[in-house]
Structure formats: C-alpha cells, structure tokens
Structure 1
Amino acid sequence: MRISVAVITYNWPEALERVLAALAAQSELPHEVIVTDDGSGAATRELLERIAPDYPVRLVHLWQPDDGARMSRARNRAIAAAQGDYVILLDGDMVAERHFIADHRAFARRGCFVQGSRVLTDARLTRHMLEQAAFVPGFFSRGIERRRHTLRMPLLANLYARPHVRRRGIKSCNMAFWRDDLLRVNGFNEAMTGWGREDTELAARAFHAGLLRRDLRFSALATHLYHRTRKHVVDNPNDRIVEDTRARQLIRCELGLDQHVPEFAAAPADLRFAAPEPRPPYSN
C-alpha cells in the first residue's frame, strides 16, 4: 500500500516547514508528500525549493491562484495527482508525531475512512514549537487542549476502532481515505468555498456510498499550531449544501475531483529532481 500525504497550505511557510520536517522524520515514510497550495506567495515556493534536494520522499507542489478560500479544489487537485493507493489529508498547521504514517497504515481498512484527532496549542506554545523545531509537546506541557491526544497507546486505540456512521467531529485536518473511494464519490464538493463544512459534506456522501468511519484515537498523533479561526461563521452558505446532500442522499457531487484527473494523467514533477520552473504570477 502506497501512502500519499496531501498537505494543504496558504501563506504560512514557517508552519509548513515544521509540518514537512515532521513528515520527513517518520519511523515509516510515506510514498510521497503533496503540498497543495491555495494561492500562497513566493515564500512557500522558496521554502519548498530549499528543502527539496534533501527531502527523503517524493515531494510535489501544486499551486492555484488565490481566488478566495478554495480548499475543496486544492484538496481535489492533490487527490487527482496522488500516486498512492491511500491518501492522508493533513492541514499545513498539523505537526505529526513520528509514528503518524505507520499508525495510519496499521489502521487502514477497506470499506472505511479514518477520522484522526489533534492536540490544540495556544499562541505561546505555537511560537515555541516554531522556534524550537525539535520540541514536541507532551501530556504535561503547558498551553495545550485535548491533552489526551498526546498519548500514543495503540492497544487502547483499538477500543475506538469499531466502524460507525456518526457525523459529529468530522475534520479534514487529519483524515484518510482509499483513493479509489474518493474517486467514487468525486472527492470534495467545489461548490463549497469560504470557511468550512466541505469535510462534513464529503463524509455524508461517503456514508451514502456505504463507507463506514473509524476513529483513530491514541494513535497517529498530531499537534495543531494555533491561529485565529473563522469556525463560528454565522449563516454559512455551505451548511445549506450539506443539508441538501443529506436530504437527497447524494453519493457524488457535480463539481468535484473528476475534472482534475486529466491534468495529472502524467505525474507532476518531483521537486527533488525537477529543474527550476518559471514561477506562477503570485497575487501576493
């Protein structure tokens, strides 16, 4: 089973560098890391060009113009470009514990997708993590929430492994699917732009397609770097799309992954070996 990690990012290269370093230091490396970029400025590309020569696995950068928050489109492009059988979705502010990939591999089951967890940090601890690259918060660290998610206990993780169809707690910051299942449901719904709910809508269609959810707790640990959030958006139009998907029991979205598959019929360049290319017309 080849594992692709799709890391979404936008204009925070300091966090992305920490995330990519953690993936490079895994006890079991993925097949590739795809950085899918929702319109970052030149600093992100410069970071990737700097670290690429020494990166231990295939490293890909997919960039799209900054035209508002288009997370669904960015993630779909990464899924379309993925060379792996299994895709781990990871946000560009999620620092993985060193057994993260191995734990995801051990947890993968056909007919299921995986919902992982995260440790939350405050602003002060996040600054410390960005300044001290080797620091990993533990159970007794100050400045964290959801402290239990610092504990790696694979045997206890099995107690949470029973497949189910609960909707609560869906979040694509640490989530994994078989790639062919994502193709079957047509990936993320690109009619959803702006903040949030695209992961909830994807999970709803996955349930309608017969997939089950497995919760990955006490394993595949990751620490979320603090930033301000727009979580409490009032009257989010994406909520109405979620409601329609559930009401009509939709399996596939109309505007989704399939439109990007032809673009990546040939695998995108591995930055470790690619000659420098003309940079896109960054908007910021």
Structure 2
Amino acid sequence: MKTIDVSVIISTYNTPESLQKVLWSFNQQTINSFEVVIADDGSTDETKALIDGMRQELSYPIQHIWQEDNGFQKTKILNKATVASLGDYLIYTDGDCIARKDFIETHLKFRAKGYALSSGYFKLTEEVSRIVGQSEIKSQLCFDSEWLLKNGQPKSFKMNKLTTSKLKAAFLNFITPTKATFDGMNASAWKADILAVNGFDERMQYGGEDRELGERLMNYGIRFKQIRYSAICLHLFHERSYVTPDMIEKNNQIRAITKRDKIIKTDFGIDTI
C-alpha cells in the first residue's frame, strides 16, 4: 500500500454530476501519494452509487464519509472527514471545483511548518460548466483560456488565475490585494494545526465558516501564504438556494467574537464528535 502524504477533503451535497467531474480531475494529478476523503452532508444514494461505481477507475484511494441530512451541517461533516483523514497534510476543496493536474503538487510545494495556504478559484459560467466533460478534464483543455473563450466564457482579468507561468503566478500572488484567508474551496494546512484549534465550529452554517477556522489558526500563530494564482481549480456553476440571511448573521456574530477575544480553540468542534 502506498504512503498517504496528503488527504484532499472534498465537501459535497447532492451534486453527483459535478462531483464526478471533480473526481476525474484528481485522476490527472501529477503526484499519486494522496487520498480523497469525501465529506458528504447527507446526499441521497445517487452520490454513493457514483462513488462506488468510480472506485475501479480512480488511481487513488477514496473514503466516503456520510451523515444524515439534517439541514446544512457542512462544518460537522468536515470535522468527521478531518478526523478520518490519513494524511499529515490536508487540502480542503468542494465537490464543484475541478482541480488542475498540478493542484496537489502545488499545495505540497508551498507547504511549510507554521503556515497555511490560501488560494482561490476561477468561476465558470453555467453554459461552460455543462460543456466541460471527462475528455476536457483529461486533456486539461478546460484550463485553457482560448478554449474557454471559444466556448462562451467572458474575457476578464480573472483569467490570469489560469496562468501556467510560475514567474507570472509568483508576481500576481505578491501584488494581489486579496487577503490570504482560509477559503474552503481551495485551502490547506497541517492536520495537527487543524486539530489544535478543534476544527470547524459546528454552530456555523453557510457564510464564512471556513474563514472563521482560518481566523482561529491565525490566533494560534499560523501564518498564511497566498498562492491564489498557483493552485488552480475551476468552480462549476450552481445555485445557492440554501443560503438565508439568518445563517450569515449568526456566522458574522461568531466570527466577531473569535476576532475580538482572539479565540484559538472552539468549544463546538471536533471534540464534540
């Protein structure tokens, strides 16, 4: 059995078509010493059937961590997946984010003790999201700006997020005004550091729940490194009908207390599992 150097934790909920594309993208990675841990917040059997059906075609081991559907409990399932992970280093992403072939390699290249990594994503339109399939992922065409423009993706400065030039990426990482935060679509840290702050705060629902974890990591002394233009993933289009103003307000209140009181370890995290 190969050594697991890193665990990629992918959150999902009832989006098997998108998840399939994401799992295909991890089949193209330039390294193979990793596992995928799917943090499933109560999907139906369709998602389980997809994962079980794909196991034979995937080049990496996969864990499917599932909990019953009881509303938006992403933080709770992420904590369960974090505990179940085998790697010393954890990359967090979502089940609608297609990873470029050097995604894991890049996170591992930039990782360092005492640091967490902050990256971003390039958002596809609804039309282009539908067009991207297994062949475009295998060939990596979907990461090509010219191909995207040809298929209807609007031209914008954000296409620089797809650069393959390490020199250009380093320059853009340095000058970007975007603050380095723990964005759950594309962020990584040492498992020991995640455990030290007790993981995600399970009181929180949608809206900054990942960033609150990052803020506690900072309070713990972890520094953040910006790799926004280096670790590349494509965000597939989807609606967010589950988001309510109450969720956002509650999360903002928790984050405000975390910042004000410089909280490191939440009382509502992994220890409650």
- Per the alignment, residue 229 of structure 1 pairs with 240
In structure 1, what residue type is equivalent to 2:237?
A: Y
- 1:259 equivalenced with 2:272 (yes/no): yes
Partner of 1:229, secondary structure, is coil
- Per the alignment, residue 4 of structure 1 pairs with 7
Residues 112 and 211, structure 1, Cα contact 8 Å, conserved in 2: yes
Q: Give the structure-2-normalised TM-score.
A: 0.87
Distance 1:257 1:167, change over 3 A: farther
- Per the alignment, residue 261 of structure 2 pairs with 248
* 1:204-215 map, 5 Å: 204-215=215-226
- Per the alignment, residue 87 of structure 1 pairs with 90
- 1:112 equivalenced with 2:148 (yes/no): no
* 1:1-284 map, 5 Å: 2-130=5-133, 133-134=136-137, 135-140=141-146, 141-142=148-149, 143=153, 146-159=158-171, 170-193=182-205, 195-229=206-240, 233-234=244-245, 236=248, 237-260=250-273
Higher share in helix = 2
Whole-Å separation in 1 of the counterparts to 2:241 and 2:211:
16
- Cα deviation, 1:161-202, whole Å, max 9, x if unaligned, reads 67xxx8565421001010000010111100112x22111211
1:46 positional shift: 0.3
Partner of 1:68, secondary structure, is coil
Name the stretch that deviates more: 69-78 or 138-147: 138-147
Equivalent pairs: percent with the same residue? 29
Distance 1:168 1:211, change over 3 A: closer
Whole-Å separation in 1 of the counterparts to 2:73 and 2:166:
35
* Structure 2 spans left out of the alignment, 5+ residues: none
In structure 2, what residue type is equivalent to 1:101?
A: I
* Structure 1 spans left out of the alignment, 5+ residues: 261-284
In structure 1, what residue type is equivalent to 2:194?
A: L
Aligned residues: 256
Partner of 1:136, secondary structure, is helix
- Cα deviation, 1:21-63, whole Å, max 9, x if unaligned, reads 1101111124210111000001100001111123212111000
Whole-Å separation in 1 of the counterparts to 2:75 and 2:99:
22
1:231 positional shift: 9.8
Whole-Å separation in 2 of the counterparts to 1:93 and 1:105:
22
Residues 182 and 211, structure 2, Cα contact 8 Å, conserved in 1: yes
Partner of 2:142, secondary structure, is coil
Residues 173 and 229, structure 2, Cα contact 8 Å, conserved in 1: no
1:118 positional shift: 0.7
In structure 1, what residue type is equivalent to 2:198?
A: N
- Cα deviation, 1:97-149, whole Å, max 9, x if unaligned, reads 01111111101011110111111111000010147553414223232562111
Residues 91 and 187, structure 2, Cα contact 8 Å, conserved in 1: yes
Name the stretch that deviates more: 230-239 or 137-146: 230-239
